[in-house]
Amino acid sequence: MIRVTGLSVSYGAVHALRDVSFEAATGSVTAVIGANGAGKTTLLRAISALVRPTAGEIDLDGTRLVGKSTENIARLGVGHVPEGRGVIEEFTIEENLRLGALHGNESFSVGLADQFELFPVLEERRKQHAGTLSGGERQMLAMARALIARPSVLLLDEPSLGLAPLVTAELMKTIKELCETRKLTVILVEQNAMSALRVSEHAVVLHLGRVAADDRSEVVANDENLRHYYLGMAE
Amino acid sequence: MDAFLASRNVSDLLVGLHFGVVIGLVALSLVMIWRATHILNFAQGAMAMFSAYVGMSLLSYNVGYWWCVVVAVIAGLAFGGVTERVLVRRLYGKPEINPIVVMVGFLALLEAIASAVWGMSGRAVPLPFSFVDWQLNGQTIAISPNGLYQIVAALVVAILVVVLFRYTNLGLQLRAAAVAPEVSRLLGVRVSRMLTLGWILSSGVGAVAAVIVASNFGPGLTPTLMDAPFAIAFIAAAVGGLESPWGALVAGVAFGIMQQFVIDYLNSDYVFLIALGALVVVLMIRPQGLFTKSVSRRV
């Protein structure tokens, strides 16, 4: 379980997050939704220590994450698929995956077989440079590279960005299955609120860096005010 | 066959190859630093010279040649690490001109310190093997046991570096840290250590090159020992492509051979003219260098 308590992050005079608290339960998907600039990406970057919080605590199953380095948080089992996917274009698909497996809890060969089963297209193109992949394939590679380390937590930043709806649905199905089979804890940041609410058990709505709502996903999805004011969804 | 091996062109080729592998080695060390930290290390030659002095100064205390070589290489490795941690670390993320100015200043400083401590006049370095060219049925082949040892040593070091970068997990992390530091950290790679390690390895490779140059060319070990090899290696690295270790190596060897033919058939004054001419032509046709694979990027 990840517990965030009173988290604040500032970029100079701009407060990106103010006093954010919520819990992401083990083996479930927690959606973090909200408009552009709500602080969603900053929240994930704070969990991975890519930005330093000005206040607050982040706790992973009893281990305090604030103050740890990004590398050590990754080695504790927190996988992070960043916005824009972050595959290393100069590397082959296999090299990308090898890098992902280096500090994980699984041997490379076993992990590789698992990922190729989940994403067969990667196996066909394993010797190709990641720069030659399409947007959807890059997303699969970024996911596979995070999963090959067998993380206990997966932070996903806008995985559906630029993907066809069918591909997104396929990815979400995979994520759900992993939550159940591997007890994976997922924090899913999405601009596309409806699809995120469908796949998640629990949702946190951010608005201008504050928590505007924190409830079960179906409650959030059915709340007219939230939909109207914070999620910009038409009736 | 003997006459062929002793012919003018084959002699030029052998002498050029001998010089070229050293150029290639220096060029390779420049590429290693460029790839790791995107800094052009103008002090690379001076750092190598300094490391060679540290090792070879032990000759005065009756330490054997091979131990001096070992100390020089260890000094080179350590010097690279300390330089990165103390000096270079402050330059990351600064405007591009800053590291250039600092590294040129560092070059001048190291040469000045070496002159003050060890003098300008050069220190003789013993040759581990005979420098007399081989004879084959009365014909002289333009390579000596010492030359062969130096070629083999340079090639072995270069191949070890390329294998390390291409085929090992450590090499994978070194490359990843250089091209995608943030993503690498998210995957658990200790990026800061990798950057230091890049400097350590590169500076060690430079020290090997300096030891070879000192025990072969010119008046032995001098504070300006590496100026000329560095200048040619720098051009070779730019021609081969700063991103490409193989390119640097191949271009270095090609420049060494070219240099020998120019000296033999024209005049040594033309060496830099032709090298710079080649650089200008290559930069006009392929600005990324001959051997750099251009990776298409999404815009």
pLDDT at residue A73, rounded to an integer: 95
Asked if residue B182 lies in contact with residue A50, where contact means CB atoms within 8 angstroms, the answer is: yes
Which candidate from B183, B189, B296 shows the least CB-CB separation from A131? B296
- Render pLDDT for A50-102 as a digit per residue (tens, 0 to 9): 999 999 999 999 899 999 999 999 999 999 999 877 899 989 999 999 999 98
Q: How far is B45 from chain A (nearest CA, A)?
A: 29
**Yes or no, beta carbons of B175 and A91 under 8 Å apart:** yes
Asked if residue A101 lies in contact with residue B187, where contact means CB atoms within 8 angstroms, the answer is: no
Residues facing A177 on adjacent strands: none
**Yes or no, beta carbons of B295 and A103 under 8 Å apart:** no
pTM: 0.86
- The overall longest dimension of chain B from CA atoms, in Å, is 65
d(CA B39, CA B118): 29
Which candidate from A86, A87, A102 shows the least CB-CB separation from B188? A102
**Yes or no, beta carbons of B297 and A48 under 8 Å apart:** no
CATH architecture of B2-285: Orthogonal Bundle (1.10)
Chain B from 49 to 88: CB within 8 A of any A CB = none
pLDDT at residue A231, rounded to an integer: 67
* CA atoms B218, B219, B221, B222: torsion sign: negative
Asked if residue A87 lies in contact with residue A142, where contact means CB atoms within 8 angstroms, the answer is: yes
B271's CB contacts (< 8 A; 6+ apart) are B232, B259, B262, B263
Q: How far is A215 from chain B (nearest CA, A)?
A: 29
User: Minimal CA–CA distance to A2: which of A32, A31, A22, A29?
Assistant: A22
Which residue ranges form the domains of chain A, and what is each CATH number? 1-77+154-235 (3.40.50.300), 84-151 (no CATH)
User: Which residue does chain B place closest to A148, by CA atoms?
Assistant: B187
Which candidate from A98, A103, A131 shows the least CB-CB separation from B188? A103
- Render pLDDT for B5-15 as a digit per residue (tens, 0 to 9): 778 888 888 88
With helix as H, strand as E and coil as C, how does B19-85 read? HHHHHHHHHHHHHHHHHHHCCCCCCHHHHHHHHHHHHHHHHHHCCCHHHHHHHHHHHHHHHHHHHHH
- Render pLDDT for A151-190 as a digit per residue (tens, 0 to 9): 999 999 988 877 778 878 888 888 888 888 888 999 999 8
Asked if residue B24 lies in contact with residue B256, where contact means CB atoms within 8 angstroms, the answer is: yes
Q: How far is A232 from chain B (nearest CA, A)?
A: 29
* CA atoms B90, B93, B99, B102: torsion sign: negative
Please check the confidence at residue B294 and state whether its pLDDT lies above 80.
Answer: no
Q: Which residue has the tokens 């720098």?
A: B234
Strand ranges in chain B using DSSP code E only, listed in sequence order: 135-136, 139-140
Identify the weakest region by mean pLDDT among A163-167, B15-19, B32-36: A163-167
Band of the pLDDT at B296, cuts 50, 70, 90? very low
Contacts of B188 in chain A (CB under 8 A): 71, 74-75, 102-104, 149
pLDDT at residue B71, rounded to an integer: 96
Which candidate from B172, B185, B295 shows the least CB-CB separation from A71? B185
d(CA A18, CA A6): 7
A205's CB contacts (< 8 A; 6+ apart) are A33, A34, A211, A212, A213, A214, A220, A226, A230, A231
Q: Does A57 touch chain B (CB under 8 A)?
A: no
Tokens at A36, concatenated = 């552009």
**Yes or no, beta carbons of B297 and A129 under 8 Å apart:** no
- The burial class, CB within 10 Å (0-12 / 13-18 / 19+), for A117 is exposed
* CA atoms A178, A183, A184, A190: torsion sign: positive
**3-class DSSP assignment, residue A90:** coil
Q: Does A71 touch chain B (CB under 8 A)?
A: yes
Task: Please report which helix (H) or strand (E) contains residue A33, including its range.
Answer: strand A29-33
**Yes or no, beta carbons of B295 and A89 under 8 Å apart:** yes
Please check the confidence at residue B41 and state whether its pLDDT lies above 60.
Answer: yes
User: Minimal CA–CA distance to B250: which of B17, B12, B14, B15?
Assistant: B17
Please check the confidence at residue A235 and state whether its pLDDT lies above 50.
Answer: no
Q: Does A35 touch chain B (CB under 8 A)?
A: no
Chain A from 101 to 120: CB within 8 A of any B CB = 102-104
pLDDT at residue B195, rounded to an integer: 93
